[in-house]
Structure 1
Amino acid sequence: MRPIRASSVAIERAAELLKQGGLVAFPTETVYGLGADASNAEAVKRIFSAKGRPADHPLIVHLAYSHQLNDWAIDIPDAAFKLAQEFWPGPLAIILKKQAYVPSVVTGGQSTIGLRVPNHPVALYLLRLFGGGIAAPSANRFCRISPTCADHVEEELGDEVDMILDGGNCQVGVESTIIDLSGKRPILIRPGHISLEELETALQTEVSFPDMNKPGLRAPGLLAVHYAPLTTAIRCNSARLDEMLYELTSEGKSVGVLLYQSMFAEIENLHVIQAPLKAEPYAQMFYAALRQLDHLNLDIIVVEQPPENEDWRAINDRLKKATIPR
């Protein structure tokens, strides 16, 4: 399925396809999503089939307006409305207790649901025309590199999708922050563009981290291996990078390198992408750079470890799941 430029006519057609139970890939500010009518269980099942996603992995439902929270969730705390007012439209998903009539296939059989209002003109226009909620994980094969442009979706899903809306490159580049407000205290399930500090400032309270050993904990992006290229990828700190690259290339291995601060000339068997030094532009190009290196049929990909501070939390979360340490 070739991507279609996201004109008003194309978006209107996409909304009709969703109403008919179709699958539509569309851009958000984070990554491209694979969307289906969240109230149509059979349509949602097509998402799992297309992605090869396990049925117990919940999906995030995208909405056009924050007032639609009441259509999908119950017992909504004031904290949810505070965050919606502060960050929606934007890259934040909020987990709440679900309405009884929400199809269990959307929530992976759980009693909670993830909701967000995306900040992308194509996504918002589509949602407003559609009128309901669109269940939409990233538009890629399960556990693989998330798509940040329409061509990535075509490459990943081909004819599994009924329409791919091309809205250009995603501006954030990593998946949304997820905060769980379904319990007694707020919990940061997945880091993203909206930081822990921003959440705590908005809520005026501490935000905790999940107990990863808790039985049954399931949310998007929590697997130990995720966002990964097909080529084996390792991460390496700057101090050991020279030694590692010399070792690998001297063995005759073809190596792709995503550099942070080191500088290397392109030499035989070494394919270099130089990354930005700041977190926001790094996030925007991260998945595309991994995908570019993955296309070269290399023996291995090496990623130089970027800073490990709060500004880089979301990037390091994705990096650690896409690579193995060395």
Structure 2
Amino acid sequence: MQTKLWTVDNYVDNANSYPQLEEAAHLLQQNQVVAFPTETVYGLGANARDNEAVKKIFEAKGRPSDNPLIVHIASKEQLASIIDEIPGMTHTLMDQFWPGPLTLIFKKKEGALSDAVTAGLETVAVRMPSHPLALKLIEKSGLPIAAPSANTSGKPSPTTAGHVYKDLNGKIAGIVDGGPTGVGVESTVLDCTGPIPVILRPGGVTKEQIEEVIGPVSLDTALSDEKQAPRSPGMKYTHYAPRAELSLVSGSREFIQSLVNAKKAEGFRVGVLTTEENQRYYDADYVLSAGRREQLESVASGLYFTLRQFDDLDVELIFSEVFPVEGIGQAIMNRLSKAAGGRLIQE
């Protein structure tokens, strides 16, 4: 399969006029798979109503088919066509955070979606992305679009079209290149179907921001208990991992450097994942900054890009600093812990 690449200006005023989006939307209508930018990461989209189209997503990614997908929509009218009801508080959440990086769990409408999207569950995860190209592409297709991250399953999520091309060239019909994404980590997944709202996956909308709008919410216990099966799309298996073995290190810069020195002495090519403030303090084969510790949004934005840089540099071991778990730091640490397979070294 030849993968087409369309470079499209992502300004809102121009998004309506590009013939590339027409071609991409037509391919989606033909049940082909097309990657496109969202404000979080690049998504791998297909017609959420068609089993064969959704099957192509799993085949391209090498993703287990028992892992549910998030459905992307462009309007609340589209939402009504795929779910049974909208619980009261979700109206408030949609008004506040849609379009944006918040995914909400709803009871699905029987027969409205491919069973492959929901992995046999009675619920479906839905979000309305805020990226103008994503919205326009979904609108032009006239379809609800199932879209996990547009990467090979298990690898760091893609934040540029180049990442998508490297992973999936020849496996999908096309890629809409709208430039680098902004948020850098996936959407927050919130389940409002029970008596207490539960965050199933931390992401671009923080727990604190949600609580300002609807009051207390809880965190899925599976987020802190590796033995429990998580209930959120994209969280069931190891994800976000670079090729090198990644370990999180809770300790001083001196302690991290001692770990680096020991592994370098054994002949390993070693990298350190840090921030701009600390980059100059380390002596390793490669020391990469994901952003500024004083501005954790920049770390979230640069995290996957940095993990993929380590892949390009062929390091064998990576030691990463840890981050506070408040605000967006919760999503950062969730992704790093998944990427490290839970490995944590404490001083």
Interval of TM-score (by shorter of Structure 1 and Structure 2): over 0.9
Q: Indicate the SS of the match to 1:225.
A: coil
CA 1:224 to 1:105, structure 2 compared with 1: closer, same or farther past 3 Å?
closer
Kept after mapping to 2: 8 A contact 1:58/1:218: no
Deviation string 1:7-59 (CA, Å, 9 cap, x unpaired) is 61111100000001110000000000000011111101100111111111110
Kept after mapping to 2: 8 A contact 1:279/1:311: yes
Write the letter of the residue equivalent to 2:231: R
Q: Indicate the SS of the match to 1:295.
A: helix
Deviation string 1:288-317 (CA, Å, 9 cap, x unpaired) is 000001122222112122233334111011
Return the offset for 1:266: 7.6
Q: How far apart are the structure 2 equivalents of 1:215 and 1:296?
A: 35
Q: How far apart are the structure 2 equivalents of 1:168 and 1:217?
A: 32
Q: Indicate the SS of the match to 1:159.
A: coil
Kept after mapping to 1: 8 A contact 2:279/2:288: no
Write the letter of the residue equivalent to 1:247: A
Moved over 4 A (4+): 213-217
Q: Indicate the SS of the match to 2:45.
A: strand
CA 1:257 to 1:248, structure 2 compared with 1: closer, same or farther past 3 Å?
same
Q: Indicate the SS of the match to 2:313.
A: coil
Does residue 226 (structure 1) correspond to residue 239 (structure 2)? The answer is: yes
Kept after mapping to 2: 8 A contact 1:26/1:167: yes
CA 1:158 to 1:68, structure 2 compared with 1: closer, same or farther past 3 Å?
same
Q: Indicate the SS of the match to 2:77.
A: helix
Q: TM-score, normalised by structure 1?
A: 0.94
Q: Indicate the SS of the match to 1:56.
A: coil
Q: Indicate the SS of the match to 1:95.
A: strand
Given candidates 3, 9, 19, the residue that maps to 2:5 is 3
Q: Indicate the SS of the match to 1:125.
A: helix
Q: Which residue of 2 aligns with 1:192?
A: 203
Q: How far apart are the structure 2 equivalents of 1:290 and 1:3?
A: 24
Q: Indicate the SS of the match to 2:105.
A: strand
Does residue 136 (structure 1) correspond to residue 155 (structure 2)? The answer is: no
Q: Which residue of 1 aligns with 2:258?
A: 243
Given candidates 325, 330, 342, the residue that maps to 1:308 is 325
Q: Indicate the SS of the match to 2:323.
A: coil
Write the letter of the residue equivalent to 1:262: N
Kept after mapping to 1: 8 A contact 2:103/2:126: yes
Q: Which residue of 2 aligns with 1:44?
A: 54
Does residue 34 (structure 1) correspond to residue 44 (structure 2)? The answer is: yes
CA 1:266 to 1:188, structure 2 compared with 1: closer, same or farther past 3 Å?
closer
Kept after mapping to 1: 8 A contact 2:150/2:157: yes
Q: How far apart are the structure 1 equivalents of 2:237 and 2:119?
A: 18
Return the offset for 1:67: 3.1
Q: How far apart are the structure 2 equivalents of 1:164 and 1:263?
A: 34
Aligned residues: 324
Q: How far apart are the structure 1 equivalents of 2:20 and 2:260?
A: 47
Kept after mapping to 2: 8 A contact 1:29/1:91: yes
Kept after mapping to 1: 8 A contact 2:250/2:344: no
Kept after mapping to 2: 8 A contact 1:188/1:207: yes
Q: Which residue of 1 aligns with 2:97?
A: 87
Q: Indicate the SS of the match to 1:234.
A: strand
Kept after mapping to 2: 8 A contact 1:59/1:137: yes
Structure 1: gaps spanning 5 or more residues = none
Q: Indicate the SS of the match to 1:36.
A: strand
Q: TM-score, normalised by structure 2?
A: 0.89
Write the letter of the residue equivalent to 2:64: P
Q: Which residue of 1 aligns with 2:14?
A: none
Q: How far apart are the structure 1 equivalents of 2:281 and 2:174?
A: 41
Return the offset for 1:181: 1.4
Return the offset for 1:246: 1.5
Q: Which residue of 2 aligns with 1:255?
A: 270
Q: Indicate the SS of the match to 1:160.
A: coil
CA RMSD of aligned residues (A): 1.8
Return the offset for 1:265: 6.6
Structure 2: gaps spanning 5 or more residues = 10-17
Q: Indicate the SS of the match to 2:81.
A: helix
Write the letter of the residue equivalent to 1:243: S
Return the offset for 1:222: 2.1
Deviation string 1:257-303 (CA, Å, 9 cap, x unpaired) is 11134343786x61111232211111111100000011222221121
Write the letter of the residue equivalent to 2:288: I
Q: Indicate the SS of the match to 1:178.
A: strand
Does residue 325 (structure 1) correspond to residue 344 (structure 2)? The answer is: yes
Deviation string 1:96-126 (CA, Å, 9 cap, x unpaired) is 1000012211101100000010010110110
Q: How far apart are the structure 1 equivalents of 2:101 and 2:20?
A: 24
Deviation string 1:69-93 (CA, Å, 9 cap, x unpaired) is 2111113201111111110110000
Q: How far apart are the structure 2 equivalents of 1:233 and 1:50?
A: 25
Kept after mapping to 1: 8 A contact 2:93/2:213: yes
Given candidates 74, 77, 85, the residue that maps to 1:75 is 85
The farther-off stretch of 52-61 and 274-283 is 274-283
Q: How far apart are the structure 1 equivalents of 2:67 and 2:48?
A: 15
